[in-house]
Amino acid sequence: MEVILTKSVENLGGKNEVVKVKSGYARNYLFPQSLALPATPGNLKTQASAIKAAAEFKKRRVEEARGLADKISGLSLVVLKKAGKEGKLFGSLTSGEIADLILESTGIGVDKRKVVVPTQLKYTGHYNVLVKLEVGVNATVAVEVTTAEAKAADEAAAAQAAVAAAAAAAAAAKEPATPPEGDAAPASADSGSPDSDAAAPADDLSNKKKKGKQVNEAGTDRPD
């Protein structure tokens, strides 16, 4: 059923907005708490101007909330807490702390009541935290909960890895380039190989033999 809210109700709507709810929720909670009126034709007519103004105000709020969601969605935050050996936190992580970190990181102020801290957030680790900016407009922020000691160790390991990578890159740059295997230049046809005669055509070898025979015959006919 439709009702006209007489007061702002969290996760439902603002004052003078017309919203749809389950009839049981309206009869058992909204109406007894004077939070809403039935959206009858008479009430809609009486509240027409207020309803119109509320609708315009809601439109502006939703547009603003969508802009904020685009800016903070995917944001990664690191929270330093004290914890035991198994990572169990000493104390709890509050929505106010996360709202403060969002403000520090982006300059965007978020109502801590809109930050939903996971109930299972009792240990160090990585979590997704929901920020309900407006009805139907949410943003998700990645939160890493760790200790100061663990963070220092991670930073030291990252620094060592960076130094090792730089050294490996420098060593690779100094090594001479070697040609790939199987790229040897082919032997020249005029290289003077002992097998060059074997590759000669048969007609050339026959001509050489004939010339040698003629020279020998000429030598035998010479007078003394």
For residue 23, the model assigns a pLDDT of 94
Q: Are 94 and 21 in contact (CB under 8 A)?
A: no
Please give the residue that has the higher pLDDT: either 102 or 173.
Answer: 102
C-alpha–C-alpha distance, residues 101 and 65, integer Å: 18
Stated pTM of the model: 0.60
For the stretch 168-219, pLDDT in tens is: 888 888 876 666 565 555 554 444 444 444 444 445 545 554 544 444 444 4
Q: Are 3 and 39 in contact (CB under 8 A)?
A: yes
Asked if residue 220 has pLDDT above 70, the reply is no
For residue 169, the model assigns a pLDDT of 82
pLDDT band of residue 84 (cuts 50, 70, 90) is: confident
C-alpha–C-alpha distance, residues 20 and 9, integer Å: 13
82-98 mean pLDDT: 86
C-alpha–C-alpha distance, residues 103 and 141, integer Å: 13
Which residue bears the tokens 């160090």? 124
**Where do the domains of the chain lie, and which CATH numbers do they carry?**
2-46 (3.40.5.10), 72-149 (3.10.430.100)
Please give the residue that has the higher pLDDT: either 65 or 81.
Answer: 65
For residue 180, the model assigns a pLDDT of 59
For the stretch 124-173, pLDDT in tens is: 889 999 999 988 899 999 999 987 666 666 667 777 788 878 878 888 88
For residue 55, the model assigns a pLDDT of 94
What percentage of residues in the chain have a pLDDT greater than 70?
A: 75
C-alpha–C-alpha distance, residues 149 and 146, integer Å: 8
